[in-house]
Amino acid sequence: MDLSDVSEELAHIEGQINDIFRALSNGFQKLEKIKDPNRRSRQLEELTDKMRECKRLIKEFERAMKEEESRNTNNTNRMLNEKKQSMVKELNSYVALKKQHASENKRIDLFDGPGGGDVFAEENVQLASSMTNEQLIDTGHRMMDETDQAIERSKQVVEDTINVGAETAAALKAQTEQMSRIVNELDSIHFSMKKASQLVKELGRQVATDRCIMAMLVLIVIGVIAIIIVKLVNPNNKDIADIPGLPPPANRKLL
């Protein structure tokens, strides 16, 4: 679906965001070829500004999307939300790439200089030689404090990760136990249904047997009634034996 069919404003914002994504892609490709730390820093600053602008446009896209939400269908709103999530994911990938290049640039500044050249190494030596002992000690302490703070932050991240892992494990355990209870209940229900099916079959057989017996009794009664009727209509019929309880027919003489 074309966003211009939904909203011209959303389509315009999407076009701006796509332009920034293309610029970021080209910028990072260019950054990989730059060896000078100063040029790399400037390039990273430009890319960071573009990422800030992209973040602002994504928020603007979300605002416009919420304004159009009541007028759109559920499918359209779902499509817009998926598009926004895709933009956020792509922006996060560029942010991670920027952090990676920033850390690499920092390592170059501290140890190697631009491409490991000797000019910057000499400048660093001259800068250090121009500092007093107290300044060198203060700088060293400051760097050690920064390192300690970074280590503490890393420890906190590790502790938070461990806590999240423990909570996740507990939640998984609870869900596993719940699933086990559900499986046991399903087994009980299945057993009950099987038992009920067997009872229904037994009742069906009993009903069929009772119907057969009733049918035979009906046939016997009908047969007895038929014999009685025949005997009463033709009492001299010798082919039919006398019925117990009935007197033999009287012999009549014709005049």
Tell me the per-residue pLDDT of 151-178, one tens digit each, with 9 for 90 and over: 888 888 888 889 888 888 888 988 889 8
- Cβ–Cβ < 8 Å for 31, 101: yes
Q: Return the number of other C-beta atoms located less than 10 Å from residue 14's C-beta.
A: 20
Identity of residue 178? Q
- Cβ–Cβ < 8 Å for 31, 43: yes
Q: What is the pLDDT of residues 179-192, one digit of tens each?
A: 988 988 888 888 88
What pLDDT was estimated at residue 54? 92
Average pLDDT over residues 104-126: 47
Identity of residue 76? T
Q: What is the pLDDT of residues 43-66, one digit of tens each?
A: 888 889 989 999 999 999 888 888
What pLDDT was estimated at residue 106? 62
- Cβ–Cβ < 8 Å for 24, 50: yes
* H or E element that contains 88: helix 74-107
Which one is predicted more confidently, 198 or 143? 198
Residue 213 pLDDT > 80:
yes
- Structure token digits, residue 249: 């027919």
Residue 35 pLDDT > 60:
yes
Identity of residue 49? D
Question: Distance (Å, rounded) from C-alpha 64 to C-alpha 85?
Answer: 15
> Which residue is associated with the tokens 């067997």?
198
What pLDDT was estimated at residue 1? 59
